[in-house]
Structure formats: C-alpha cells, structure tokens
C-alpha cells in the first residue's frame, strides 16, 4: 500500500494537492532500513480529522532499531528501557497529574482518544537521526498543522522545531515549552504541566478531557 493510500480518506482529501510530493518521497524511501517500518509511516494519520482534539508535535522518528512505530514519542509496549525523552514525558505526567511512571511506552492509548502524535519528519534511516531531513516531509506536515489549526485543536509544541509551527494554531489553544529530551528537559519542560493544561483547555471549549 503506497504512503498516500495509508492515509485516512480525510487526510487524502486535505493533502490532495500534495499527493505528488508524497509520491516523490515514497519513491525515494529504502524500505529495508526504514524507521518506522514502511506500513507504519502514516500510522498517525490513519484517523479522521474530526476525531483529533490534541496534537503533540515531535521532530523525527526514534532512530534506534525497533523503537519507532509511527506515533511521535511512542514505542511498542515491549521496548525496555524506554527512550530518554519518553521517560521524561512520563516523569512530567506523574508530577503534573499524578499518573505513576509507566513501563509501557506505547502511546496508542492517547491516540485512541484523539491525540495526534505527529513528527515533523515522518521517516529516518534506522540508526540515524534526521537522515531524511531534506526529503520534503516538512511541507507535508506543515499542511497537516495548518489543517488542524483551522479547528479547535490543542497544540502541544515541545522545543524549537515544533514551535516553528506555532503561528498556524490559535494562541489560546497552544501550549509550548522546552523539549523533553535530556538535553533540554531541565530548561523548562519539567514543571510545564502540559497534561493538566490541555485538559483545562479541552473542558473550557466543551470537549472531553484526555485520560492520560
């Protein structure tokens, strides 16, 4: 199934003008050492636009073989130890809303409630960060952010890379802080309370809170 065909029909419509760009990226991918696996590249976008109430934007997939599975910051439930950024996310989750640290790094439970876990660059070469930075993914994900920004979607933007998209979202629905990576988490990610803030915003606009 091609990358475009992996998209939910809503996203096929929203990104129809960029189909040529998606097909061009598709033609350049070497599937043998791709992260995530080819069939999971568009996994985050396999849901309807209407179902999305929150978007969390990451940079690019985990490069460690076997870690990336199509949802930003998420890993399969059998991955141990967890990536450092995800451990820090869980630490802040516990500090913010009291949910104990989890050994299960699969964030599908968030995605199923309408949280879009989107990387700005949807692929990389296994073992290498940012290997596909110049493939053209940003044009695609910028349009995704633009589409979401036209709706009442809470945007959680961690780090400079994600915050480049802040102008596409309603400031009243946007939460920003440092990135959860070990290099920056102590510079404003810890203590930023993104999870409780998100639920407060959702409830204020009449949408269900997320069960983090």
The candidate with the shortest Cα–Cα distance to 155, out of 131, 173, 129, is 173
Residues facing 175 on adjacent strands: 156
> Which tokens in the block code for residue 48?
């309807």
Q: Are 148 and 45 in contact (CB under 8 A)?
A: no
CB atoms within 10 A of CB 9: 9
Among candidate residues 10, 33, 60, 96, the one labeled active-site is: 60
Contact 148, 169 (CB under 8 A): yes
Residue 117 region by backbone torsions, left for phi larger than 0, else alpha for psi between -120 and 50, else beta = beta
- For CA atoms 119, 120, 124, 130, give the dihedral sign: negative
Rounded CA separation 141/12 (Å): 13
DSSP state of 43: G
Contact present, 153 and 53 (Cβ < 8 Å): yes
Is position 33 annotated as part of the catalytic site? no
Neighbours of 10 (CB within 10 A): 16
Could you list the active site residues? 60
């Amino acid at each position: 199934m091609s990358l475009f065909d992996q998209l939910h029909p809503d996203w096929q419509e929203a990104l129809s003008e960029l189909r040529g760009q998606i097909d061009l990226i598709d033609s350049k991918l070497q599937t043998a050492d791709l992260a995530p696996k080819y069939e999971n590249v568009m996994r985050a976008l396999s849901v309807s636009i209407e179902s999305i109430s929150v978007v969390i934007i990451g940079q690019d997939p985990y490069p460690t073989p076997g870690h990336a599975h199509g949802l930003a910051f998420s890993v399969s439930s059998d991955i141990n130890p967890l990536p450092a950024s995800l451990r820090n996310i869980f630490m802040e989750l516990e500090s913010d809303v009291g949910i104990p640290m989890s050994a299960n790094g699969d964030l599908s439970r968030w995605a199923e409630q309408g949280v879009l876990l989107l990387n700005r660059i949807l692929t990389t070469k296994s073992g290498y960060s940012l290997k596909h930075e110049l493939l053209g993914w940003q044009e695609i994900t910028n349009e995704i952010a633009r589409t979401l920004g036209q709706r009442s979607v809470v945007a959680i933007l961690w780090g400079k890379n994600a915050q480049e998209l802040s102008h596409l979202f309603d400031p009243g629905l946007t939460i920003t802080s440092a990135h959860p990576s070990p290099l920056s988490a102590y510079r404003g990610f810890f203590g930023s309370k993104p999870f409780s803030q998100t639920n407060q915003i959702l409830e204020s606009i009449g949408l269900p809170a997320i069960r983090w």
